Amino acid sequence: MPESQILDLPFLFRDAAHLERTTSGVPGQRLQDLFRAQSFEVPAFINYGARHLLTKTPVTTPDQLQGVKIRVIQSPLHTQLWSAYDAVPTGIPIPETYNALSTGVVDAMDLTKSAYAGFKLYEVVPHLTETAHIWAAGVIYFSAAFWGGAER
């Protein structure tokens, strides 16, 4: 649902507590209502953590991103974010990211710390700049029929 992309907007949430207050408050209820109108139930939202900038060389100022080839989620929102910094966004599926970084197809990406460690990306992009530019949040949802226990 396009409206749920609001959770992916850069620099929208200050921290995990702000995300929690938002999803458990009126904005979260409005998203739940939008899903319900399409026959889905939303029992919870999930916080995957903050996305940070991962690079081959240290980055301490935004102008250092000019011309840097950066792996992005294949989404217009993420492409526009990094284009605004004059980086060169390249949509690459996550399973192909390690190879793309190791071969120079891209030189940077953004991801949560847990995924950075889990995918061992520190081997190919050793510099992590704590930007928390996006708090990766998701919507857990089920069809209303399934959630309500309807017979199949």
Is 66 within the bounds of a domain?
A: yes
Q: How many domains does the chain have?
A: 1
CATH of residue 64's domain is 3.40.190.170
Is position 94 within any domain? yes
pLDDT tens, residue by residue, 20-33: 999 999 999 999 99
Write out pLDDT tens, residues 61-117: 999 999 999 999 988 999 999 999 999 999 999 999 999 999 999 999 999 999 999
The pLDDT of residue 148: 84
CA distances from 69 to 16, 54, 72, 128 (A): 29, 12, 9, 16
pLDDT of residue 130: 97
Q: What angle do CA 26, 50, 69 make, to 5 degrees?
A: 125
> How do residues 122-139 score in pLDDT, each as one tens digit?
999 999 999 999 999 999
Question: What DSSP character marks residue 99?
Answer: H
Q: Share the mean pLDDT of the chain.
A: 94
Say if 46 falls within a structural domain. yes
Q: Is residue 134 part of a domain?
A: yes
Domain assignment present for residue 90? The answer is: yes
HSE, CB side, 13 Å, CA atoms: give it for residue 22.
19
Note whether residue 152 is domain-resident.
no
Place of tokens 């939303």: 42
Please say if the pLDDT value at position 58 is more than 80: yes
Rg of the chain over all Cα atoms, to the nearest angstrom: 18
Residues paired with 44 in a beta bridge: 140
Range of the structural domain that residue 124 is part of = 2-147
The model's pLDDT over 89-105, given as tens digits with 9 standing for 90+, comes to 999 999 999 999 999 99
Whether 49 maps to a domain, the answer reads: yes
Measured over the CA atoms of residue 100, residue 102, residue 105 and residue 108, the dihedral's sign is positive
Q: pTM of this prediction?
A: 0.88
